[in-house]
Amino acid sequence: GRGPRRAHDRHNGFHEFTDKEPGIKYLLDQQSGDWKQDQAYNLMANALKSNEKIDLVYGHNDPMAYGAYLAAKDVGREKDIKFIGIDGLPNEGVQMVNKGELTATFTYVTPGAEGLRQAIKFLNGEKVEKTITLPTEKITKENAAQVLKDNGL
């Protein structure tokens, strides 16, 4: 679900990789768009005013990444920036990627179905792993149209 835990995990997962890369300057790292497109738009509009060079925007969800994209588009800077979101919902993030508004989105797999599968295994006396990593899918311009098609859109 939404909330501090999800934000914390998405933030930490991002930093686990980006912190190892030299020369990255985090501009809006501690700013919260509160999962909302309009708040992300406002944050990005301010960031664009005070930063000549922005290479990448990572939003904790697709609407926030899209809000940042719209802010950049309104000042003609969207072509210079990569916008990455998370959730990969077919009627939302995947459409945005397909239209070239977001560079990529990543599916966010919810644990419900897998939790039930593991519970049934456990109840049947089978061994259940302590940690189960759910797969995620990267959606880019290359596969967005196919993902939409697979989802009947």
Domain boundaries, the chain: 4-13+28-150
Q: Which residue do the tokens 């509160």 mark?
A: 34
**Pair of tokens at residue 45:** 């509009």
pLDDT at residue 3, as a whole number: 59
Q: What CATH topology corresponds to 4-13+28-150?
A: Rossmann fold (3.40.50)
Q: Is the dihedral of CA 42, 45, 51, 56 positive or negative?
A: positive
43 closest CA partner among 17, 64, 13: 64
What are the tens digits of pLDDT across the range 33-47?
888 899 999 999 999
Structure tokens at 7: 């934000």
CA distance 49 to 41: 12
Instruction: Record the pTM.
Output: 0.80
Task: Give kind and range of the element (H or E) at residue 24.
Answer: none
Positions in the chain whose pLDDT score sits under 50: 1
pLDDT of 4 reads 66
Cα-trace Rg, the chain: 18
Residues 112-123 pLDDT 10s: 888 899 999 999
